[in-house]
Amino acid sequence: MLKTPLHSFHVDRKAKLVDFAGWEMPMFYSGILDEHQQVRRSGGLFDVSHMGRVKVTGRHARRFLEKLCTRRISDMQSGQCRYGLVCNEQGGVKDDIIVYRMDEDDFLLVVNASNREKLLPHFEKVRAAGDMQVKVDDQTLSTAMVALQGPKVIDMIRKFSSEIPTLKRYRFAVKNLMIMKVIVSRTGYTGEDGVEAILPAGMLGMAMKLILKDINMDSPDAVIKPAGLGARDTLRIEAGMPLYGHELGEEINALSCGVDFAISMDKHTQDRGERFVGQDALEAAQKAGITKKLVGLQLEGKRAARQGMTVLSGGKPVGTVSSGCLSPTLGYPIAMAFVDAGLTALGTPVQIDTGRDGALFEAKVVKMPFYSPTRQG
Protein backbone atom coordinates (compact mmCIF):
# COMPACT_ATOMS: atom_id res chain seq x y z
CA MET A 1 0.00 0.00 0.00
CA LEU A 2 1.04 3.57 -0.60
CA LYS A 3 1.84 5.70 2.43
CA THR A 4 1.37 9.46 2.74
CA PRO A 5 4.13 11.74 4.10
CA LEU A 6 2.15 11.83 7.39
CA HIS A 7 2.19 8.05 7.85
CA SER A 8 4.54 8.15 10.87
CA PHE A 9 2.31 10.84 12.42
CA HIS A 10 -0.65 8.47 12.17
CA VAL A 11 1.32 5.56 13.63
CA ASP A 12 2.66 7.66 16.51
CA ARG A 13 -0.89 8.69 17.38
CA LYS A 14 -2.07 5.07 17.25
CA ALA A 15 -4.54 5.67 14.45
CA LYS A 16 -6.67 2.80 13.16
CA LEU A 17 -5.17 2.40 9.69
CA VAL A 18 -7.12 0.96 6.76
CA ASP A 19 -6.64 0.39 3.04
CA PHE A 20 -8.37 3.20 1.15
CA ALA A 21 -7.95 3.17 -2.63
CA GLY A 22 -4.51 1.57 -2.22
CA TRP A 23 -3.35 4.01 0.47
CA GLU A 24 -2.83 3.21 4.15
CA MET A 25 -5.00 5.88 5.75
CA PRO A 26 -6.30 6.68 9.26
CA MET A 27 -9.95 5.73 9.81
CA PHE A 28 -9.85 7.34 13.26
CA TYR A 29 -7.55 8.22 16.18
CA SER A 30 -9.62 8.70 19.36
CA GLY A 31 -12.91 7.74 17.71
CA ILE A 32 -15.19 8.86 14.88
CA LEU A 33 -17.72 10.56 17.16
CA ASP A 34 -15.07 12.51 19.10
CA GLU A 35 -13.35 13.64 15.92
CA HIS A 36 -16.61 14.65 14.25
CA GLN A 37 -17.63 16.77 17.23
CA GLN A 38 -14.14 18.29 17.47
CA VAL A 39 -14.44 19.55 13.87
CA ARG A 40 -17.92 20.97 14.42
CA ARG A 41 -16.88 22.60 17.71
CA SER A 42 -13.35 23.81 16.98
CA GLY A 43 -11.09 22.28 14.33
CA GLY A 44 -9.66 19.12 12.84
CA LEU A 45 -6.56 18.21 10.85
CA PHE A 46 -7.11 15.76 7.99
CA ASP A 47 -4.45 14.05 5.93
CA VAL A 48 -5.86 14.10 2.39
CA SER A 49 -2.60 13.36 0.60
CA HIS A 50 -4.23 10.31 -0.98
CA MET A 51 -6.23 12.67 -3.22
CA GLY A 52 -4.75 12.94 -6.71
CA ARG A 53 -3.03 16.17 -7.78
CA VAL A 54 -2.53 16.58 -11.52
CA LYS A 55 -0.89 19.57 -13.20
CA VAL A 56 -2.23 20.62 -16.62
CA THR A 57 -0.21 23.14 -18.64
CA GLY A 58 0.35 24.16 -22.24
CA ARG A 59 -1.10 26.46 -24.87
CA HIS A 60 -4.31 24.40 -25.11
CA ALA A 61 -4.72 23.74 -21.36
CA ARG A 62 -7.82 25.92 -21.05
CA ARG A 63 -9.52 24.37 -24.11
CA PHE A 64 -8.62 20.88 -22.90
CA LEU A 65 -10.31 21.50 -19.55
CA GLU A 66 -13.35 23.05 -21.21
CA LYS A 67 -13.73 19.79 -23.15
CA LEU A 68 -13.01 17.59 -20.15
CA CYS A 69 -15.01 19.31 -17.42
CA THR A 70 -18.75 20.00 -17.10
CA ARG A 71 -18.07 23.40 -15.56
CA ARG A 72 -17.04 26.54 -17.44
CA ILE A 73 -13.28 27.10 -17.16
CA SER A 74 -12.50 30.03 -19.49
CA ASP A 75 -13.94 32.68 -17.17
CA MET A 76 -11.97 31.50 -14.15
CA GLN A 77 -9.47 33.97 -12.71
CA SER A 78 -5.99 33.12 -11.49
CA GLY A 79 -6.33 32.24 -7.81
CA GLN A 80 -9.78 30.72 -8.25
CA CYS A 81 -10.93 27.12 -7.66
CA ARG A 82 -14.00 25.55 -9.22
CA TYR A 83 -15.83 22.29 -8.55
CA GLY A 84 -16.89 20.26 -11.57
CA LEU A 85 -17.45 16.79 -12.99
CA VAL A 86 -15.63 14.65 -15.52
CA CYS A 87 -18.20 12.61 -17.45
CA ASN A 88 -18.05 9.60 -19.73
CA GLU A 89 -19.70 9.57 -23.16
CA GLN A 90 -22.89 8.12 -21.66
CA GLY A 91 -23.31 11.02 -19.21
CA GLY A 92 -22.15 9.03 -16.19
CA VAL A 93 -19.60 10.50 -13.80
CA LYS A 94 -15.97 9.44 -14.03
CA ASP A 95 -15.05 11.72 -11.13
CA ASP A 96 -15.78 14.99 -9.40
CA ILE A 97 -12.79 17.32 -9.31
CA ILE A 98 -11.64 20.72 -8.19
CA VAL A 99 -9.84 22.86 -10.77
CA TYR A 100 -7.29 25.43 -9.57
CA ARG A 101 -6.33 28.13 -12.09
CA MET A 102 -2.73 29.01 -11.35
CA ASP A 103 -2.19 31.19 -14.44
CA GLU A 104 -3.51 31.65 -17.99
CA ASP A 105 -2.39 28.21 -19.21
CA ASP A 106 -1.50 26.64 -15.87
CA PHE A 107 -4.03 24.55 -13.90
CA LEU A 108 -4.01 22.06 -11.05
CA LEU A 109 -6.68 19.36 -10.71
CA VAL A 110 -7.53 17.64 -7.42
CA VAL A 111 -9.16 14.29 -8.13
CA ASN A 112 -10.35 11.34 -6.06
CA ALA A 113 -7.76 8.79 -4.99
CA SER A 114 -9.79 5.87 -6.33
CA ASN A 115 -10.06 7.47 -9.78
CA ARG A 116 -6.61 8.93 -10.43
CA GLU A 117 -5.25 5.98 -12.37
CA LYS A 118 -8.29 5.64 -14.65
CA LEU A 119 -8.47 9.39 -15.28
CA LEU A 120 -4.93 9.72 -16.63
CA PRO A 121 -5.59 7.61 -19.78
CA HIS A 122 -8.93 9.39 -20.19
CA PHE A 123 -7.12 12.73 -20.12
CA GLU A 124 -4.79 11.49 -22.85
CA LYS A 125 -7.74 10.28 -24.93
CA VAL A 126 -9.42 13.69 -24.73
CA ARG A 127 -6.15 15.49 -25.50
CA ALA A 128 -5.39 13.30 -28.52
CA ALA A 129 -8.93 13.59 -29.92
CA GLY A 130 -8.58 17.36 -30.03
CA ASP A 131 -4.90 17.29 -31.10
CA MET A 132 -4.17 19.67 -28.22
CA GLN A 133 -0.77 20.77 -26.97
CA VAL A 134 -1.15 19.96 -23.30
CA LYS A 135 1.19 18.54 -20.68
CA VAL A 136 -0.45 16.41 -17.97
CA ASP A 137 1.81 15.84 -14.97
CA ASP A 138 0.68 13.59 -12.11
CA GLN A 139 2.19 15.22 -9.01
CA THR A 140 0.38 13.10 -6.42
CA LEU A 141 3.45 11.32 -5.06
CA SER A 142 5.68 14.40 -5.05
CA THR A 143 3.22 16.56 -3.14
CA ALA A 144 1.16 16.33 0.05
CA MET A 145 -2.24 17.73 0.98
CA VAL A 146 -3.81 18.47 4.36
CA ALA A 147 -7.12 20.02 5.38
CA LEU A 148 -7.75 22.19 8.43
CA GLN A 149 -11.50 22.38 9.02
CA GLY A 150 -13.67 23.88 11.74
CA PRO A 151 -15.10 27.15 13.09
CA LYS A 152 -11.91 28.15 14.94
CA VAL A 153 -9.45 27.35 12.14
CA ILE A 154 -9.45 30.76 10.45
CA ASP A 155 -8.83 32.58 13.75
CA MET A 156 -5.89 30.25 14.35
CA ILE A 157 -4.50 31.02 10.88
CA ARG A 158 -4.69 34.77 11.56
CA LYS A 159 -1.77 34.35 13.96
CA PHE A 160 0.64 33.75 11.07
CA SER A 161 -1.15 35.09 7.95
CA SER A 162 -3.18 38.21 7.27
CA GLU A 163 -3.98 37.20 3.66
CA ILE A 164 -5.41 33.70 3.99
CA PRO A 165 -8.31 34.69 6.31
CA THR A 166 -9.42 37.25 3.70
CA LEU A 167 -9.73 34.64 0.94
CA LYS A 168 -13.26 34.05 -0.28
CA ARG A 169 -14.66 30.54 -0.65
CA TYR A 170 -13.08 28.68 -3.57
CA ARG A 171 -10.17 31.09 -3.81
CA PHE A 172 -6.55 30.25 -3.12
CA ALA A 173 -3.20 31.91 -2.55
CA VAL A 174 0.33 30.66 -3.15
CA LYS A 175 2.36 31.41 -0.03
CA ASN A 176 6.06 31.18 0.72
CA LEU A 177 6.63 29.27 3.96
CA MET A 178 10.34 29.21 4.74
CA ILE A 179 11.85 27.58 1.62
CA MET A 180 8.65 26.09 0.21
CA LYS A 181 5.67 27.24 -1.80
CA VAL A 182 2.29 26.27 -0.38
CA ILE A 183 -1.06 26.47 -2.17
CA VAL A 184 -3.71 27.36 0.43
CA SER A 185 -7.36 27.29 -0.65
CA ARG A 186 -10.58 28.19 1.16
CA THR A 187 -12.10 24.80 0.39
CA GLY A 188 -13.12 21.69 2.28
CA TYR A 189 -15.33 18.63 2.53
CA THR A 190 -16.95 18.99 5.94
CA GLY A 191 -19.49 21.80 5.69
CA GLU A 192 -17.32 23.91 7.99
CA ASP A 193 -15.07 26.84 7.16
CA GLY A 194 -11.40 26.08 6.76
CA VAL A 195 -8.56 25.59 4.31
CA GLU A 196 -6.77 22.93 2.33
CA ALA A 197 -3.03 23.14 1.68
CA ILE A 198 -0.89 21.53 -1.04
CA LEU A 199 2.89 21.51 -0.68
CA PRO A 200 6.00 19.48 -1.56
CA ALA A 201 5.85 16.06 0.12
CA GLY A 202 9.32 16.37 1.62
CA MET A 203 8.44 19.65 3.31
CA LEU A 204 5.25 18.57 5.06
CA GLY A 205 6.92 17.71 8.36
CA MET A 206 8.55 21.15 8.57
CA ALA A 207 5.29 22.87 7.67
CA MET A 208 3.38 20.93 10.33
CA LYS A 209 5.83 22.01 13.01
CA LEU A 210 5.56 25.66 11.99
CA ILE A 211 1.76 25.72 11.81
CA LEU A 212 1.12 23.69 14.95
CA LYS A 213 4.08 24.84 17.07
CA ASP A 214 1.87 26.46 19.74
CA ILE A 215 -0.80 23.76 19.74
CA ASN A 216 -0.76 20.72 22.01
CA MET A 217 -3.05 18.36 20.12
CA ASP A 218 -3.15 16.05 23.15
CA SER A 219 -4.82 18.73 25.26
CA PRO A 220 -8.60 18.18 25.79
CA ASP A 221 -9.28 21.77 24.68
CA ALA A 222 -6.86 21.86 21.73
CA VAL A 223 -8.05 24.07 18.87
CA ILE A 224 -6.91 21.46 16.35
CA LYS A 225 -6.87 17.69 16.70
CA PRO A 226 -6.29 15.00 14.07
CA ALA A 227 -9.36 13.50 12.40
CA GLY A 228 -9.66 10.45 10.19
CA LEU A 229 -11.66 9.25 7.21
CA GLY A 230 -14.54 8.07 9.40
CA ALA A 231 -15.31 11.57 10.67
CA ARG A 232 -14.71 13.00 7.21
CA ASP A 233 -17.50 10.77 5.92
CA THR A 234 -20.09 11.63 8.59
CA LEU A 235 -19.22 15.33 8.27
CA ARG A 236 -19.70 15.32 4.48
CA ILE A 237 -23.00 13.42 4.80
CA GLU A 238 -24.33 16.08 7.20
CA ALA A 239 -23.19 18.70 4.69
CA GLY A 240 -25.00 16.87 1.86
CA MET A 241 -21.81 16.50 -0.16
CA PRO A 242 -21.60 13.64 -2.70
CA LEU A 243 -18.95 10.93 -2.56
CA TYR A 244 -17.74 8.99 -5.57
CA GLY A 245 -18.95 5.40 -5.39
CA HIS A 246 -22.03 6.51 -3.46
CA GLU A 247 -23.76 9.56 -4.99
CA LEU A 248 -21.52 9.66 -8.06
CA GLY A 249 -20.47 6.93 -10.47
CA GLU A 250 -19.97 5.87 -14.07
CA GLU A 251 -23.47 4.34 -14.19
CA ILE A 252 -25.19 7.31 -12.49
CA ASN A 253 -26.44 10.10 -14.76
CA ALA A 254 -24.77 13.36 -13.78
CA LEU A 255 -28.11 15.19 -13.81
CA SER A 256 -29.43 12.88 -11.08
CA CYS A 257 -26.72 13.65 -8.54
CA GLY A 258 -27.90 16.95 -7.07
CA VAL A 259 -24.96 18.93 -8.45
CA ASP A 260 -26.68 20.70 -11.35
CA PHE A 261 -24.79 23.89 -10.43
CA ALA A 262 -21.63 22.13 -11.61
CA ILE A 263 -23.01 21.26 -15.05
CA SER A 264 -22.91 24.14 -17.55
CA MET A 265 -25.02 22.86 -20.43
CA ASP A 266 -24.75 26.16 -22.32
CA LYS A 267 -21.04 26.86 -21.88
CA HIS A 268 -20.31 26.03 -25.53
CA THR A 269 -22.42 29.05 -26.54
CA GLN A 270 -20.23 31.44 -24.53
CA ASP A 271 -16.90 33.01 -25.38
CA ARG A 272 -14.19 30.34 -25.78
CA GLY A 273 -16.55 27.66 -24.52
CA GLU A 274 -16.56 24.01 -25.62
CA ARG A 275 -19.00 21.14 -25.55
CA PHE A 276 -17.85 18.73 -22.85
CA VAL A 277 -17.52 14.96 -23.03
CA GLY A 278 -20.90 13.43 -22.21
CA GLN A 279 -22.93 16.54 -23.03
CA ASP A 280 -24.81 14.89 -25.91
CA ALA A 281 -25.97 12.11 -23.59
CA LEU A 282 -26.99 14.55 -20.86
CA GLU A 283 -28.99 16.64 -23.32
CA ALA A 284 -30.81 13.51 -24.49
CA ALA A 285 -31.52 12.46 -20.90
CA GLN A 286 -32.74 15.95 -20.07
CA LYS A 287 -35.11 15.90 -23.04
CA ALA A 288 -36.44 12.45 -22.12
CA GLY A 289 -36.79 13.43 -18.46
CA ILE A 290 -34.55 12.49 -15.54
CA THR A 291 -36.15 9.49 -13.84
CA LYS A 292 -34.16 9.42 -10.58
CA LYS A 293 -33.10 12.28 -8.31
CA LEU A 294 -30.91 12.48 -5.21
CA VAL A 295 -32.77 13.52 -2.05
CA GLY A 296 -32.07 13.88 1.64
CA LEU A 297 -33.96 11.68 4.09
CA GLN A 298 -34.58 12.04 7.82
CA LEU A 299 -35.31 8.73 9.52
CA GLU A 300 -37.33 7.95 12.61
CA GLY A 301 -35.65 6.12 15.48
CA LYS A 302 -31.90 5.81 16.00
CA ARG A 303 -30.76 3.22 13.46
CA ALA A 304 -28.94 4.37 10.34
CA ALA A 305 -29.72 3.37 6.77
CA ARG A 306 -26.84 1.98 4.74
CA GLN A 307 -25.81 2.15 1.11
CA GLY A 308 -27.79 -0.25 -1.06
CA MET A 309 -30.94 -0.41 1.08
CA THR A 310 -34.15 -0.15 -0.95
CA VAL A 311 -36.44 2.88 -0.61
CA LEU A 312 -40.18 2.08 -0.73
CA SER A 313 -43.34 4.10 -1.33
CA GLY A 314 -46.71 2.44 -1.04
CA GLY A 315 -44.92 -0.87 -0.60
CA LYS A 316 -43.19 -0.59 -3.98
CA PRO A 317 -39.45 -0.04 -4.62
CA VAL A 318 -38.81 3.56 -5.71
CA GLY A 319 -35.10 4.05 -5.05
CA THR A 320 -31.88 3.15 -3.30
CA VAL A 321 -29.95 4.60 -0.35
CA SER A 322 -26.53 5.92 -1.39
CA SER A 323 -25.17 7.05 2.03
CA GLY A 324 -26.41 7.17 5.59
CA CYS A 325 -25.38 7.68 9.20
CA LEU A 326 -26.66 8.52 12.66
CA SER A 327 -25.87 12.24 12.58
CA PRO A 328 -23.59 13.10 15.52
CA THR A 329 -24.57 16.78 15.29
CA LEU A 330 -28.32 16.44 14.82
CA GLY A 331 -28.89 13.34 16.93
CA TYR A 332 -31.05 11.44 14.44
CA PRO A 333 -30.39 9.25 11.37
CA ILE A 334 -29.99 10.91 7.98
CA ALA A 335 -29.43 9.48 4.53
CA MET A 336 -29.09 10.36 0.87
CA ALA A 337 -30.97 8.29 -1.68
CA PHE A 338 -31.85 8.17 -5.36
CA VAL A 339 -35.64 8.05 -5.70
CA ASP A 340 -38.22 8.39 -8.46
CA ALA A 341 -38.28 11.99 -9.67
CA GLY A 342 -41.91 12.39 -8.62
CA LEU A 343 -41.07 11.77 -4.95
CA THR A 344 -38.67 14.62 -4.28
CA ALA A 345 -41.05 17.10 -2.62
CA LEU A 346 -40.05 18.04 0.94
CA GLY A 347 -42.01 16.06 3.50
CA THR A 348 -42.75 13.12 1.18
CA PRO A 349 -42.99 9.98 3.35
CA VAL A 350 -41.06 6.85 2.35
CA GLN A 351 -39.86 3.65 3.96
CA ILE A 352 -36.45 2.02 3.86
CA ASP A 353 -36.23 -1.76 3.69
CA THR A 354 -33.50 -2.90 6.10
CA GLY A 355 -33.32 -6.33 4.48
CA ARG A 356 -33.99 -7.92 7.87
CA ASP A 357 -37.23 -9.94 7.83
CA GLY A 358 -39.26 -7.13 6.32
CA ALA A 359 -38.24 -4.54 8.94
CA LEU A 360 -38.75 -1.00 7.66
CA PHE A 361 -37.44 2.43 8.65
CA GLU A 362 -39.93 5.28 8.37
CA ALA A 363 -38.44 8.37 6.71
CA LYS A 364 -39.33 11.64 5.00
CA VAL A 365 -37.68 13.79 2.34
CA VAL A 366 -35.88 16.81 3.82
CA LYS A 367 -33.76 19.65 2.54
CA MET A 368 -30.01 19.31 2.09
CA PRO A 369 -27.58 20.13 3.49
CA PHE A 370 -28.85 18.50 6.64
CA TYR A 371 -26.51 20.74 8.63
CA SER A 372 -24.75 24.01 7.93
CA PRO A 373 -23.14 26.39 10.44
CA THR A 374 -25.29 29.31 9.23
CA ARG A 375 -28.51 27.32 9.39
CA GLN A 376 -27.77 26.29 12.97
CA GLY A 377 -27.53 29.99 13.84
In a 3-state reduction of DSSP, which class is residue 283? helix
Domain holding 88: CATH number? 3.30.70.1400
Same domain flag for 233 and 159: yes
Number of residues that this document lists for the chain:
377
C-alpha to C-alpha distance for 238 and 55, rounded to whole angstroms: 31
**pLDDT at residue number 377:** 37
Residue 276 domain-assigned?
yes
Same domain flag for 148 and 44: yes
| Angle between helix 61-68 and 116-129 (nearest 10) | 110
Same domain flag for 64 and 149: no
Same domain flag for 116 and 71: yes
Nearest to 4 by CA among 150, 143, 129: 143
The tens digit of pLDDT for each residue in 285-308 reads 999 999 999 999 999 999 999 999
Residue 244 domain-assigned?
no
**pLDDT at residue number 375:** 52
- The residues, ordered by sequence, that sit 6+ positions from 219 with a Cβ below 8 Å of its Cβ are none
Q: Domains in the chain: how many in total?
A: 3
The answer to whether the CB of 371 falls within 8 A of the CB of 191 is yes
Max Cα–Cα distance, the chain, nearest Å: 64
> Other CB atoms closer than 10 Å to residue 279's CB: what's the count?
21
The answer to whether the CB of 185 falls within 8 A of the CB of 81 is yes
Same domain flag for 150 and 176: yes
C-alpha to C-alpha distance for 361 and 353, rounded to whole angstroms: 7
Tell me the CA distances in angstroms from 159 to 156, 210, 259, 264, one per residue in order: 6, 12, 36, 39
The tens digit of pLDDT for each residue in 14-47 reads 999 999 999 999 999 999 999 999 999 999 999 9
Ranges under pLDDT 50 in the chain: 376-377
Same domain flag for 72 and 44: no
Same domain flag for 152 and 221: yes
Range of the domain at 27: 2-50+141-238
C-alpha to C-alpha distance for 195 and 160, rounded to whole angstroms: 14
Which string of DSSP letters, residue by residue, matches 146-165?
Answer: EEEESTTHHHHHTTT-SSGG
C-alpha to C-alpha distance for 10 and 235, rounded to whole angstroms: 20
Same domain flag for 8 and 91: no
Same domain flag for 332 and 307: yes
Nearest to 171 by CA among 187, 194, 193: 187
pTM of the predicted model as reported, rounded to 2 decimal places:
0.96
Residue 206 domain-assigned?
yes
**pLDDT at residue number 82:** 98
Residue 277 domain-assigned?
yes
**pLDDT at residue number 218:** 87
Is the dihedral angle over the CA atoms 103, 192, 28, 238 positive or is it negative? Answer: negative
